[in-house]
Amino acid sequence: MLVPVIAQAEPSSGTLDTKALAAIKRMSDTLAAAKSFTFKSSAILEVPAKTGQFITLFSNARVALQRPDKLRASMTGEAPPFDFYYDGKTVSAYAPGTKTCSIAKAPPTIDAMLPALEKETGIRFATAPLLLGNPYSVLADRLTSAVVVGPSMVRGTACDHLAFRSPGLNWEIWIDSGSSALPRRLAVTFTDRTNFPRTLVEFSDWNLHPRLSPGEFVFRKPPAATEIPFLSVLKSAGR
């Protein structure tokens, strides 16, 4: 079998293509300028099973963000349903399948809350950098390689396909090559974890001017819900 080789997708170690950096800066500027936004996503996740094998799960999400201190995400799919709320004071997670929830005090901004949540749970969210006030500051940090793979199409949208490497991560992103410069696809390989688990996310239905009410970000604990630690509720939802 003959396998085509894309020469420009094989940079030498240490290559930082300024065009690739400019593309993620343009995307970052678009997201940072939005006071609020919503989007949908579909993801393929590789998660460890008790046997040690990595299992592939298909997941869907709806995300709503309002700067600087409100975030809501609702996940469905092969993994059990899971809801996340952040209202600037607390973070809440709810797994309706097991009727378990977790509520904890949180830092006053999204930018502070997301790193704190990762530190507390040990769980990395591949899309988290896109939710920050300045995505570029995180995406471009400690890069060892940045390359323009070339033009691509993602569900009918013309995109620039880019590839990057940083300690513990190999990642690719497909950015709308039009004026919106929105992310359309993201692929992340965690090279510092056993079996190099991979996450692939496709984004759709971006709205940079949504109408959002404060109540959308507030968790109201169901009477029958049992409160447990944050990491436990994430595991109960298969996250």
Peptide bond just before 135 cis, omega within 30 deg? no
232 with 93: CB under 8 angstroms?
Answer: no
Q: Are 186 and 171 in contact (CB under 8 A)?
A: yes
Looking at residue 112, its amino acid is A
Residues 167 and 184: their CA atoms lie apart, in Å, by: 24
C-alpha span between 70 and 74 (Å, rounded): 14
Sheet containing 90-95, strands listed edge to edge, beginning at the edge strand earlier in sequence: 145-154, 157-166, 169-176, 183-190, 198-207, 36-48, 54-66, 70-77, 82-86, 90-95, 100-105, 226-227
Residue 93 Cα distances to 51, 63, 117, 205, angstroms:
27, 14, 11, 24
* pLDDT value of residue 6: 41
Q: Could you give the domains of the chain?
A: 7-87+125-221 (2.50.20.10)
Query: H or E element: which one contains 187?
Result: strand 183-190
Q: What is the pLDDT of residue 112?
A: 96
Q: How high is the pLDDT of residue 11?
A: 47
pLDDT for position 239:
47
CA distance 70 to 108: 9
Residue 37 has phi, psi (to 5 degrees) of -160, 160
The pLDDT of residue 14 is 64
pLDDT score for 235: 56
Q: What is the pLDDT of residues 56-84, one digit of tens each?
A: 999 999 999 999 999 999 999 987 888 99
Look up residue 188 and give its amino acid.
Answer: V
CA 14: distance to chain centroid? 25
pLDDT at res. 195: 79
pTM (2 d.p.): 0.89
Structure tokens at 142: 């400690």
Query: 214 Cβ partners below 8 Å, 6+ apart?
Result: 70, 87
User: Phi then psi for 231, rounded to 5 degrees?
Assistant: -60, -35
Closest to 26 measured CA to CA, from 168, 145, 177: 177
Residues of the chain with pLDDT under 70: 1-14, 231-239
